[in-house]
Amino acid sequence: MTGNNVSHSRAHTKRVFKPNLHVKKFYIQEEDKWITLKVSASAIRTINKKGITACLKEAREKGYYNG
């Protein structure tokens, strides 16, 4: 997504909004293994809410994760 930086003098310059990505390790109890994922901050909150197994199942159905 793009937008503008607006200075005190109200001069506009272009800027880019980048996703807030983090590399994070998650432990899957059912498979007894660790996986490393690059996820956004909002995805980390979703995983904490739903659980890693439910999120992985949903990601496999949508084709985002095939591991």
Predicted local confidence at residue 67, as pLDDT: 76
Tens digit of each residue's pLDDT (9 = 90 or more) over 18-64: 999 999 999 999 999 999 999 999 999 999 999 999 999 999 999 98
b/e sequence 26-55, b meaning 16+ C-beta within 10 Å: beeeeeeeeeebebeeebeeebeeeebeeb
Q: Which helix (H) or strand (E) holds 65?
A: none
Between the alpha carbon of residue 16 and those of residues 1, 19, 52, the distances in Å are 6, 10, 30
Copy the structure tokens of residue 1. Answer: 């997504």
Provide the angle, in degrees to the nearest 10, between the axes of the packed helices 52-62 and 41-50.
120
Residue 26, pLDDT score: 96
Q: Determine the pLDDT at residue 66.
A: 84
- pLDDT at position 37 is 94
Where do the structural domains in the chain lie, given as residue ranges? 20-67
